Amino acid sequence: MDAIRQLIEWVANDAGHTVATLLPFGLLGLTGLYFAWLVLGWLRVSQVGIETVQAPALRLPRAPDGAIEAPRGVPYCPVDGLQYPATTRFCSVCESDLLVSCANCGTRIRAADESCYRCGTRETTTVAAAD
């Protein structure tokens, strides 16, 4: 019974001071995380380089089961099903990472990756696919 009374007194007296002390720090921390998320998102999208996209994105065909049929070595958006030039890393429509099937082994990797994690090929995109 004494423990319950002490708990009630702590909530009534000390918890208010604790919340009043910690709440502003929590709100500042959440606000800081939100602004960091905004800045990092802007930095990520700013790497797209709109001026580097020479040709408009082409729509890729889909298989009967809905999967995107992209040729090897061609960056494409898995969300929108659009094909991009070889230097593009992010989709200009939905801002997601572009994927590419390795030109050597066919493994799906991010277009921003420098090499294939499966076979180690440094050139994951084909030069002819960018035309």
pLDDT band at 12 (very low <50, low <70, confident <90, very high): confident
pLDDT average, residue stretch 91-109: 82
Percent of the chain exceeding pLDDT 90 equals 7
Q: What is the pLDDT of residues 19-60, one digit of tens each?
A: 777 888 889 999 999 999 988 888 776 665 555 444 566 777
One-character DSSP codes across the chain: -HHHHHHHHIIIIIHHHHHHHHHHHHHHHHHHHHHHHHHHHHHHHHTT-GGG--SPPEEPPB-TTS-B---TT--B-TTT-EE--TT--B-TTT-PBPEEE-TTT--EEETT-SS-TTT--S--S-TGGG-
